[in-house]
Amino acid sequence: MKILGIESSCDETAAAVLEVRVHRFTLLSNVVASQINIHKKTGGVVPEVAAREHTNTIISTVRAALEQAGGWSRAQARPQSVRSHSLGSRPKIDLIAATAGPGLITSLLVGAETGRTLAYAWNIPFVATNHIAGHIYSSLLTNQPIQYPALALIVSGGHTELQLIKKNRHLRCLGRTRDDAVGEAFDKTAKLLGYPYPGGPALSKAAVGGNPRAVPFPRPMLNSKDFDFSFAGLKTSVVYHLKALQRFSRADVAASIQQAIVDVLVAKTVRAAKKYKVKTVILAGGVAANRTLRTHLADHITALGKQLILPRAEFCTDNAAMIAAAGYMSKTTPWNKLTVNPNWELGR
C-alpha cells in the first residue's frame, strides 16, 4: 500500500509518500518546507505566522510529494484550465495520514483539513495521526523490526517523554517533563548565549571540542525515583551565571549544557529499560538528531544487550514520512469525524 503523510503541527510543512510491502517500508518521496528562516527573525515560532505560511505552502508541498513518488503524472497535476495550486485528479494512494495533534491549533488545522478534504474528494481512507506516535514510528523507516516490549524516548521542541510500548502496541506514558521540553532547554539556553533560532543544532555545533565537564550545570531530577524530567532549572542556572560563564570558552559552556541534558536523558532511559525489561529502545524527536545523545545512549543501551533504534537525523526532526508510518500503525478515522486536538496526549 501507498500512504500519503501530511504534517503541519509546528514550523515545518511536510508531505511524503511511503510504500509498505509485507511490513517493509520504502520512502517514495519526502518533502519538507521549513519555516526556520521566517521564525529566525522573531527568535521563535509565532503561531499565526506559522499557520499562514502552512496555508501558503501546503498544496505545493503535497503536490511535490505526489509527483516525486511517481504515482501521479505532471499532466494530471497541472491541468491547464486549473490554477497552479490545484491538485487535480486522484493519485494512486491507498491511505492519507495527517497530523491531528498535539501542536499549534491553527497550524494543525491546515494539514489536517487538507488531508481529510483530499480523502473525501478522492475517496481514500483517512487517518488522524498523533505527532508523537509519528516520532516513535519514524523508527520503522529504518526497517529494523521493533521487539516488544519497547521503550521510546521522545525528545523534541515541545515534548520530552518516555513511552512504554507493550506487546499489543498499547502505549503507556512512564514520565514526561514537568516544565520545559528538552528542545526548549537547548533553544532557550542557546538564545541566552547568543545563538540564533533554533538553538539546538547551533549549540551542539558549538560544543564540538569543548570540555563537557568544565561547568557543573545542574542535572535536575537525575536521581528521582519516577521517570519525569525537569529542564527549566538549567535555563535559570545559565541566566544566573551568565557573567561568570564568560570565564569559560563558548565550546566548554555549550558542551557542559549539552552534557547535563544528555546525562539526565540517558540515566532515566536506562533505568526504565531495565525496570520494564524492554527489548528495544527507540530514540525519537528533533533532539534525537543530537550526536552526543545518540552516542551516549548507544553506549549504554548496547551495554545492556538491548536493541537501539536510531532513526536517521532527517527523520528525527519534523517530517511527514513518520506521519505516514504512524498512519500505517493506526486505525482509520471517518473524514467527517476528525477532531484536531492541540493537547492530544499519548499513553495516559
**Does 160 engage in binding with Zn ion (CB under 5 A)?**
no
State the binding partner of 317 from ligand KG4, Zn ion, none, CB within 5 to 8 A by kind.
ligand KG4
Q: Would you state the cell numbers that stand for residue 308, as one nine-digit string? A: 537501539
Closest by Cα among 234, 256, 156, 135 to 189:
234
The verdict on 282 binding ligand KG4 (CB under 6 A) reads no
Check residue 183 for interaction with ligand KG4 (CB under 6 A). yes
The one among 11, 53, 252, 318 contacting Zn ion by CB under 5 A: 318
With binding defined as CB under 5 A, does residue 156 bind Zn ion?
yes
Closest CA to 138 of 319, 331, 337: 319
What does 164 bind: ligand KG4, Zn ion, none (CB cut-off 5 to 8 Å by kind)? none
- In DSSP terms, 161 is beta-bridged to 154, 176
- Using alpha carbons only, what angle is made at residue 253 by residues 248 and 256, rounded to the nearest 5 degrees? 130
C-alpha cell at 206: 558549538
* Angle 279-200-64 from CA coordinates, rounded to 5°: 80
Q: Binding marks (x or -) toward ligand KG4, 197..216, rule CB under 6 A?
A: -xxxx--x------------
Least distance to ligand KG4, CB of residue 261, Å: 8
Relative orientation angle of helices 199-206 and 182-192, to the nearest 10 degrees: 70
Report, in Å, the least distance between residue 141 CB and ligand KG4: 15
A 10 A CB-CB count for 241 gives 15
Is 134 an interacting residue with respect to ligand KG4 (CB under 6 A)?
Answer: no
CB 139 within 8 A of CB 146: yes
Q: Closest separation between CB of residue 188 and ligand KG4, Å? A: 9
| Segment 300 to 319, residues that bind ligand KG4, using CB under 6 A | 317-318
CB atoms closer than 10 angstroms to residue 161: 26
Which of Zn ion, ligand KG4, none sits in contact with 200, Cβ below 5 to 8 A by type?
A: ligand KG4
Q: How far is the CB of 120 from ligand KG4 (least distance, A)?
A: 27
Report the interface residues with ligand KG4, using CB under 6 A. Answer: 10, 156-158, 183, 186-187, 198-201, 204, 285-287, 289-290, 317-318
